[in-house]
Chains A and B, each alone.
Chain A
């Protein structure tokens, strides 16, 4: 079954400026099964993939197709039932807490729901300070810390001075999600796992956030795994697209190949399900 997914994978063709892509995160026969006995649910079913460095990879599928489970496995939040994950060509080792910590310096998430991503009992400053501590900047002079935090906030068009004494629930959803990106900017991980970061946000903020993700990729050469149910968004943002159905990749390839020339029935259906208004989505007008 994974063979078919591989067959559908098309070669990245056009970009000649970039050096040969280096796989950053790979999976071989990755499987997650929930439950035991007769009530087993196979959430992710023997998937293989190679996510290259500096690319934006979209994983598209409908609800329940296993996208989030896959992302949690890649993040190391849940264990894998079967299969291996390779990080930068070597098998990922998160057997101890110290190794986990080390791994998490390289991979960080943005979650779907900005409202539940924050501990409401702590001020926003605490979130940003955590990032600095994680990168070992704990003993930096205060002015330098503030400067870094201000820089991160201005990266996502937020004013640090206005936020510093606020609680997360005093911000709007869009602001919260942008602050999450500021957090990523401070942490500078190699891989960003964006799990439907725009699905809870209105259309205007959505474009801003996508734009920021693109900026992150361009400025820090971050690998972004963008999980979405919206194939229109995937087309807009990604270099590569993986289509996921019932825990399997049914099709993968460059965004252009997969969406303009879909092979799998499921992909065709996903594309036909997109509301017509999205067809007029123009890259130039949406940004800003």
Chain B
């Protein structure tokens, strides 16, 4: 036994899968110890905030500021005048009759000078729609604001209700980030304004729970029926294999959908979904366990055990089960993996666990899809989820293959 475990860990494939899986598992277990916030708390007002650190604007303006003479890579003006805006200005100037040779789009200062000379906000330029005229006006005010070097003026109302300038924030003013409140979203926020990372960890935990529950149930049912059918043979075998074939022929995903739907939205918690998936995915375990048991039941040691007067259950559990234990563990790993995938599939079509209670990997995908994260470029809402599902399946399958190599002598290197 000890030797076998040693051998299993000598398999590179198994070790690689094990390390990935353990990393995910430990993250799921340890992360909540440090981040105690409710994973479903809606922090952001609005959807899909970009990943990054958010600092308090109010505190930044009020906090003691430091003057840093850092040459800016882009002046404010350069930032306003991007390639598109320059093209717009050039277009406008050409229409106003400026010679093309005079316009140099690479020279921001010159371009602004030409703009100031030719553009008058009060003139109603012909050949433009109202919307375009407004856009020109906006551009003009942007340029005017960018030309100012006085910075932002902070004003307060005095007793009489008049605004009094209290502070000027210059472009050389900086605050120490330690002095202001901030919040980092490593993976941004989702459509409900929830921290994706925290949600992802909680979702992985729920998905693993569902997978484990489904895997255990499917393996337990499959193992029990497979052992009975394989060992008893005869009528019992025929009945069990008939039922198994029945379940194999009906696409299990359809049953899964029907049961999930009929159970109802409110009753579907993590446990319920796990049980539903487990109850529909046992047939192939039964079939493979049965065939293994059939090849074992006429072995000499089983016959000898029979002749020693042992009961059927004792023979099954001491003389047959240990011989197929490694196989059963491997089958269970695959069942766990397919249970996680089945949950993702179910949740994607809206039949996963009730949405208000928990997050699961499948539910996160569904939310991202419903709020068109894939269309508006919010990759952080779905891509980490996809990666995580893939990693869990990959690591479990890798462990399975590694174990197969150890237990199946034909595959040994």
Residues B300 and A75 in contact, CB atoms below 8 Å apart: no
A77 in complex: contacting residue of B301, B306, B322, CB < 8 Å: B306
Interface flag for A131 (CB, 8 Å): yes
Instruction: Determine if A121 and B309 form an interchain contact, defined as CB atoms under 8 angstroms apart.
Output: no
Residues 300 to 333 of chain B near chain A (Cβ within 8 Å): 300-301, 303-311, 318-319, 322-323
List, in ascending order, chain B residues with CB within 8 A of A117's CB.
Answer: 300-301, 304
Q: Which of A90-129 contact B (CB under 8 A)?
A: 97, 100-101, 104-105, 108-109, 111-113, 116-119, 121-122
What residues on B are CB-neighbors of A122 within 8 Å?
318
Q: Given A109-B303, A113-B300, is A119 in contact with B308 using a C-beta cutoff of 8 Å?
A: no
Chain B binding surface SS class:
helix
In the complex, A118→B300 CA distance in Å?
8
Please encode chain B, from 235 to 249, with 1 for each CB lying within 8 Å of some chain A CB and 0 for all others: 000000000000000
Q: Would you call B299 an interface residue if the criterion is a C-beta within 8 Å of the partner chain's C-beta atoms?
A: yes
A121 to B311, CA, bound (A): 18
- In B248-305, the 8 Å CB interface with A consists of 299-301, 303-305
In the complex, what's the smallest C-beta–C-beta distance from B302 to chain A, in angstroms? Answer: 8
Q: Do residues B300 and A108 form an inter-chain contact, with CB atoms below 8 A? A: no
Query: What chain A residues lie within 8 Å of B300 (beta carbons)?
Result: 111-113, 116-117
Instruction: For B304, give the chain A residue with the smallest CB separation.
Output: A117
A130 interface residue (CB < 8 Å to B): yes
Contact check, A116 vs B308: say whether CB atoms are below 8 A apart.
Answer: no
- Residues of A near B310 (CB, < 8 A) are 130
Please tell me if the beta carbons of A109 and B304 are within 8 angstroms of each other in the complex. yes
In-complex Cβ contact of B309 among A77, A119, A134 (8 A): A134
A118 touches B301 (CB 8 A): yes
Known contacts A111-B300, A121-B318, A130-B308; 15 additional CB pairs below 8 A are A77-B303, A77-B306, A101-B309, A104-B306, A104-B309, A108-B307, A109-B303, A109-B307, A113-B300, A117-B301, A117-B304, A118-B301, A119-B301, A119-B305, A121-B322
19 A/B residue pairs, CB under 8 Å, sorted by A: A75-B303, A75-B307, A77-B306, A101-B309, A104-B306, A109-B307, A111-B300, A111-B303, A111-B304, A116-B300, A117-B300, A117-B301, A119-B318, A119-B319, A121-B322, A121-B323, A122-B318, A130-B308, A131-B308
Interface residues on B, range: 10 to 19
- CA separation between A183 and B196, bound complex, in Å? 66
Q: Can you name the residue of chain A whose Cβ is closest to the Cβ of B310?
A: A130
- How many chain-A residues does the 8 Å CB contact rule pick out? 21
Chain A residues in 8 Å Cβ range of B307: 75, 77, 104, 108-109
- Bound-state CA distance A100–B307 (Å) is 9
Instruction: Determine the distance from Cα of A75 to Cα of B52 in the docked complex, in whole angstroms.
Output: 77
A209 to B301, CA, bound (A): 20
Residues of B within 8 A of A111 (CB): 300, 303-304
Which residues from chain A contact B303 at a C-beta distance below 8 Å? 75, 77, 109, 111
A186 nearest CB across to chain B (Å) = 11
Among A75, A100, A116, A121, the residue within 8 A (CB) of B299 is A116
Which one of A97, A113, A134 contacts B308 once the chains associate, using CB atoms below 8 Å? A134
Interchain nearest-CB distance for A185 vs B (Å)? 15
Contact with B along A53-82 (1 / 0, CB 8 A): 000000000000000000000010100000
The 8 closest A-B pairs by CB, nearest first: A111-B300, A121-B322, A101-B309, A117-B300, A116-B300, A119-B301, A104-B307, A130-B308
What residues of A have a CB within 8 angstroms of the CB of B299 in the complex? 116
When distances are taken between beta carbons in the complex, the residues of chain A under 8 Å from B319 are 119
In the assembled complex, the CB of B235 is this many whole angstroms from the nearest CB of chain A, namely: 14
The CA of A101 and the CA of B307, in the complex, are separated in Å by 7
**B307's closest neighbor in chain A, by CB?**
A104
Bound-state CA distance A194–B97 (Å) is 115
In the bound complex, CA of A111 to CA of B318 (Å)? 20
Chain A residues, Cβ within 8 Å of B323: 121
Query: In B191-235, which residues have CB < 8 Å from any A CB?
Result: none
Complex CA distance for A75 and B305, rounded to whole angstroms: 13
Q: How far is the CA of A116 from the CA of B306 in the complex (A)?
A: 14
Report Cα–Cα, A131/B305, bound state, in Å.
Answer: 10
Central interface residue in A109, A119, A130, A131, by most chain B CB within 10 Å: A119
Inter-chain contacts of A113 with B (CB < 8 A): 300
Q: Give the residues in chain B near A109, CB-CB below 8 Å.
A: 303-304, 307
